[in-house]
A and B are shown apart, each in its own frame.
Chain A
Amino acid sequence: MGTKRLGKYSKKYSEYISAFGVVIIFYIIVQIMAAAHVLTSSFAGQLIPVCAYAIMAVSLNLTVGILGELSLGHAGFMSVGAFSGVLVYTNFSAFMPAWAAMLCAIVTGAVTAGVFGILVGVPVLRLSGDYLAIVTLAFGEIIKNLLNAMYLGVDSAGVHISFKDAASMKLAPNGKTLINGALGITGIHKASTFTLGIVLLLITLIVILNLIHSRSGRAIMAIRDNEIAAQSIGIDLTKYKLMAFVTSAVFAGVAGVLYALNYSTLVATKFNYNTSIQVLVFVVLGGMGNITGSVIAAAVLTVLPEILRVMKDYRMLIYSIVLIIMMIFNQGPQMIAWRKRFISKIRENHSTGKEEH
């Protein structure tokens, strides 16, 4: 029993090893490049976005690859996390050390995104695939539109909010405008660091991998593989669908805070349908359900367009083609059958005559 079980454990932990390994190796390589002064400024500028997008991809994979539902509004959760996190950081750092303000910001972003995850998830997760996708897309757009039209300010009388224009806020002249409609938030102090990004990514990986390899993860995957059978063995569909969806949203919020505190301005239109599709491409290309794949795909596809200038203009076009081709080749029944025949033909040619099962 001993050696057999060992084999099983190493299989289970291989996912942890590969995911962590990739992240740590990436971190080490970057540090070496920095020390050797070969780190270009454009590449350095991509480091934090890479971490943020990797967190986005891993969290979306939880919903798409592990739960098996298509969420097209993931950018919306990134957005609410970003805005709430930036507001907290900017205002707390006045009376708190930077690291404490950052911690508060991240927690705030995560919790806010989580709350929105619940608000969206509760009505949406009762729907089946197609409808769910449409509604999540709709919510992503609605969140973007609302944030884009939001005027938020604070003065001695309290907090003011308006969705019409700045004047409707009725803010006192000495009040502070926090969110300025389409102009968003300006004058942000860039507090994110690459190390922070790596740490957050590692935390995301631990939490999500631990969730997958647990009783709850099994329940979520059971729902994905066969919802009716999952129900018949007493799994609470709503609870576990919500669990996956909200956890996804929480980490999208974390990614949002990390991302937003890397720039001096934050506008709602930055987190739009394009962003949601991009992250979906990372997940599909990396392999649905493959956590390490999501990290690698996010990193490569974020960095590559910077390196290949040519690719930048055609990036989204290439992504759309990638989606179509990946789906047809991986999931098309004819393709799968053809691949099986192909592989067994190769096995035949290489077999030494031994019986193979």
Chain B
Amino acid sequence: MSLLEISGLSISFGGLNAVSNFSLTMEKGHLYGLIGPNGAGKTTIFNMLTGVYKPTGGKILLDGENITGKNPEFISKAGIARTFQNIRLFDALSVLDNVKAGLHNRISYGMMTGIFRTPVYSRKENEMTEKAFEILKIFELDEKADLKASQLPYGQQRKLEIARALATDPKLLLLDEPAAGMNPNETAELMQTVRSVRDQFGIAILLIEHDMKFVMGICENITVLDYGKIIACGDPASVRSNPKVISAYLGGN
């Protein structure tokens, strides 16, 4: 049984077929890429996978469980985490608290425990703090734990968003244009980070990117989308040389 089986996924908005018949199978511990021109429907697919949109057709199975059309909270608990095209951090919270928020469903205690400060509170809060620091260390953000999230430079905000997503202990991580707005050095660093996340956590990663070096550099399998339909799917070499892809997207390079 594969980790994620998407079959025939489609959605239309007001008569316009944004995504048609999208299918993809993903296994644990592998890196997948999703590319295509702007407006091809890539983020829409992410939104369907995470429950933000309800698909009008098709099925999504996570570890055999049907999660099609479920709400975001359910899907997060089931094990899919994501980052967003426009970074969505909790700006007024500290870096540490952003990650702790990600641990919300992994280490939990009730409202009354928090108000009455029982020993359970101290134990679980310490657990959360330690786990959060562990994750921050991986992204070299532990020194900045007490800064407000909005005070981080852009590249580190991206990393924090990924850190928070990882805190939810997902089986599948969706990264929406993680390298957007980064210079070549930052991009190379991010590639390293994404690879090591895959290795350390053994999860599957699906990423949307426009930076071809990034995608070709780390993805094992790439799906190409154009006008909501798949026009190619395979390893980087075959996608790069696929004439349909070249004409639709790469512009003849």
Contact of A234 among B76, B90, B93, B115 (CB under 8 A): B76
A243 to B84, CA, bound (A): 27
What range describes how many residues of B lie at the interface? 35 or more
The residue on A at minimum CB distance from B113 is: A214
The residue on A at minimum CB distance from B90 is: A225
Q: Are A236 and B92 in contact (CB under 8 A)?
A: no
Kindly state whether residue B159 has any CB partner on chain A within 8 Å. Answer: no
Q: Are A233 and B102 in contact (CB under 8 A)?
A: yes
Which residues of the partner chain A approach B12 to less than 8 Å between Cβ atoms?
none
State whether A221 and B168 are in contact (beta carbons under 8 Å apart), knowing that A8-B146, A210-B117, A232-B72 are contacts in the complex.
Answer: no
Kindly state whether residue A218 has any CB partner on chain B within 8 Å. Answer: yes
State whether A234 and B168 are in contact (beta carbons under 8 Å apart), knowing that A214-B121, A219-B104, A229-B90 are contacts in the complex.
Answer: yes
State whether A235 and B101 are in contact (beta carbons under 8 Å apart), knowing that A215-B109, A225-B92 are contacts in the complex.
Answer: yes
State whether A221 and B90 are in contact (beta carbons under 8 Å apart), knowing that A233-B165, A233-B168, A235-B104 are contacts in the complex.
Answer: yes
Q: Are B77 and A234 in contact (CB under 8 A)?
A: yes
With most chain B CB atoms within 10 A of its CB, the pick from A225, A234, A289 is A234
A313 to B115, CA, bound (A): 41
Kindly state whether residue B81 has any CB partner on chain A within 8 Å. Answer: yes
Q: Give min CB distance, B39 to chain A, whole Å.
A: 20
Return the CB mask of B65-80 against A: 1 if under 8 Å, else 0.
0000001110011000
Q: Give min CB distance, A69 to chain B, whole Å.
A: 15
Known: A214-B125, A231-B73. 17 other contacts (CB 8 A): A11-B146, A213-B114, A215-B124, A215-B125, A216-B110, A218-B100, A219-B104, A221-B92, A226-B88, A228-B84, A231-B71, A232-B81, A232-B82, A232-B84, A232-B88, A233-B104, A233-B105
Q: Give min CB distance, A244 to chain B, whole Å.
A: 10
Which residues of the partner chain A approach B165 to less than 8 Å between Cβ atoms?
233
A251 to B233, CA, bound (A): 59
Contact of A229 among B84, B117, B124 (CB under 8 A): B84
Q: Give min CB distance, A339 to chain B, whole Å.
A: 15
- CB within 8 Å of A: which B104-159 residues: 104-105, 107-111, 113-117, 121, 124-125, 128, 145-146
Q: Are A289 and B88 in contact (CB under 8 A)?
A: no
10 tightest Cβ-Cβ pairs between the two chains A and B: A214-B114, A234-B76, A229-B88, A225-B90, A231-B72, A234-B105, A216-B111, A222-B101, A226-B88, A210-B115
The residue on B at minimum CB distance from A247 is: B111
Kindly state whether residue B223 has any CB partner on chain A within 8 Å. Answer: no
Question: B residues within 8 Å of A by Cβ?
Answer: 50, 52, 71-73, 76-77, 81-82, 84, 88-93, 97, 100-102, 104-105, 107-111, 113-117, 121, 124-125, 128, 145-146, 164-165, 167-168
Which residues of the partner chain A approach B93 to less than 8 Å between Cβ atoms?
218, 221-222, 225
Which residues of the partner chain B approach A228 to less than 8 Å between Cβ atoms?
52, 84, 88
Contact of A233 among B101, B111, B146 (CB under 8 A): B101
Which residues of the partner chain B approach A154 to less than 8 Å between Cβ atoms?
none
A211 to B121, CA, bound (A): 11
Kindly state whether residue A207 has any CB partner on chain B within 8 Å. Answer: yes
The residue on A at minimum CB distance from B107 is: A215
Q: Are A215 and B104 in contact (CB under 8 A)?
A: yes
The residue on A at minimum CB distance from B145 is: A8
A213 to B76, CA, bound (A): 24
The residue on B at minimum CB distance from A237 is: B73
Q: Are A233 and B114 in contact (CB under 8 A)?
A: no
Kindly state whether residue A217 has any CB partner on chain B within 8 Å. Answer: yes
Would you mind naming 22 contact pairs between A and B with Cβ atoms under 8 Å apart?
A207-B115, A211-B111, A213-B114, A214-B109, A216-B110, A217-B114, A218-B97, A219-B104, A222-B101, A225-B92, A226-B88, A226-B90, A228-B84, A229-B88, A231-B71, A232-B52, A232-B72, A232-B82, A233-B105, A233-B165, A234-B104, A289-B92
Q: Give min CB distance, B179 to chain A, whole Å.
A: 19
A221 to B110, CA, bound (A): 16
Which residues of the partner chain A approach B167 to less than 8 Å between Cβ atoms?
233
Which residues of the partner chain B approach A232 to less than 8 Å between Cβ atoms?
50, 52, 72, 76, 81-82, 84, 88
The residue on B at minimum CB distance from A1 is: B133
Q: Are A210 and B114 in contact (CB under 8 A)?
A: yes
With most chain B CB atoms within 10 A of its CB, the pick from A11, A207, A221, A226 is A226
The residue on A at minimum CB distance from B92 is: A225
The residue on A at minimum CB distance from B82 is: A232
Contact of A236 among B73, B84, B107, B121 (CB under 8 A): B73
Q: Give min CB distance, B34 to chain A, whole Å.
A: 18
Q: Give min CB distance, A14 to chain B, whole Å.
A: 13
